Amino acid sequence: MVDYYSLGLIGYPLDHSLSPRIHLAALKALGFKGEYKLYPVPAEPNGLEVLENLLEQVRQGILHGLNVTIPHKKTVLPLLDKLAPVARTIGAANTISLKDDQLVGDNTDSPGFLADLNRLGWSVLKEDNLHALVLGAGGSARAVVYALARSGWYVTVAARRPEAAEELIRAVQFIVAKTKPSGGRDPVIAVQLDKDSLTNLDPMPRLIINATPLGMHPREQESPWPLDVPFPPEAAIYDLVYNPPETLLMKIAREGGLRTSNGLGMLIEQAALSFAIWTGRTAPRDEMLAAIKDYISPT
């Protein structure tokens, strides 16, 4: 058993991250000593040397585990020795650990998102309309699309760069091939993230997920959804952004009578799964959530 856990988060920017509160609460609840530090590492090429150094510290046992967030969920992959199946399929890793002297990348975003969707009771939306719309095509979007496709949803990926959405679809094509119904539309398709495409969605989605950084500090006054496009009626809006607790996207949707949720529940779930990978112990979710209860907004 480790006497002192040295954990941390790699990403940029990290000024408003709640991860240290969450993981320190988990360590304390289980009687573990340790720390969880923030490692702000800018995108390549400037941050590559720092990123490599942090991974080497994991390899040497100086660090016992790392989380990874924007912009490194994909760029970290070539620096690892092994990928868990979900991370390999998605093409993004958010959790790094050392197993049998190998750096292993895993992805707890996907099961974390699905767990929170079930907590909200929103997974039943697919019974009426299987269509979900994912805004964005980065590492977080890949995790969400993977989770939805495996659960039987039809998914439309809307990205400002269609080639990024097509790349995402290729990354999850194994899951897509397994879930494709005979004679039906492709389980995952791509469209341009613009007014025309969002106005003409068919069928209209019951679930919309923001997997872009728009709405997150320092872009709180931005929304990935065009302000002059009405939301699909009765759609539920899930924003992966959790700080601020209510994004501009959520505010407009809520004022329009739609159900909304931020990504705080997903944050707790993915953190709990990462914590279990590092420590081998079931994470104390209640204590982790209590540590950031002041950031919870009504859903």
Indicate if 111-258 has the same CATH topology as 5-107+269-291.
yes
Q: pLDDT tens-digit profile of 115-135?
A: 999 999 998 777 766 899 999
Strand 102-106 with 95-99, pairing: antiparallel
Residue-wise pLDDT tens digits, 31-90: 999 999 999 999 878 889 999 999 999 999 999 999 999 889 989 999 999 999 999 988
Please say if the pLDDT value at position 298 is more than 60: no
Q: Which residues contact 241 (CB under 8 A, 6 or more apart)?
A: 210, 213, 214, 215, 216, 247, 262, 263
Q: Is 195 a catalytic residue?
A: no
**What is the per-residue pLDDT for 203?**
85
Length of the chain: 299
CATH 1.10.357.10 fits 111-258, yes or no: no
Q: Which CATH number fits domain 5-107+269-291: 1.20.58.390, 3.40.190.180, 3.40.50.2000, 3.40.50.10860?
A: 3.40.50.10860
Domain positions in the chain: 5-107+269-291, 111-258
CA angle 233, 165, 122 (to 5 degrees): 35
| Separation in Å, CA 170 to CA 51, 158, 201, 216, 220 | 27, 15, 22, 28, 31
**Mean pLDDT computed over 165-178:** 72
pLDDT over threshold 80, residue 294: no
Q: How far apart are CA 163 and CA 183, in angstroms?
A: 26
Q: What is the pLDDT of residue 83?
A: 97
The pLDDT of residue 66: 98
Count the neighbouring beta carbons within 10 Å of the beta carbon of residue 152.
12
**Active-site pick, 28, 37, 73, 99:** 73
pTM score of the predicted model: 0.89
* Backbone angle region of 281, left / alpha / beta, with phi > 0 → left and psi within -120 to 50 → alpha: beta
Q: Could you give the CA distance from residue 202 to residue 195 in angstroms, rounded to a whole number? A: 14
Cα 129 versus chain centre, distance: 23
Average pLDDT over residues 197-218: 92
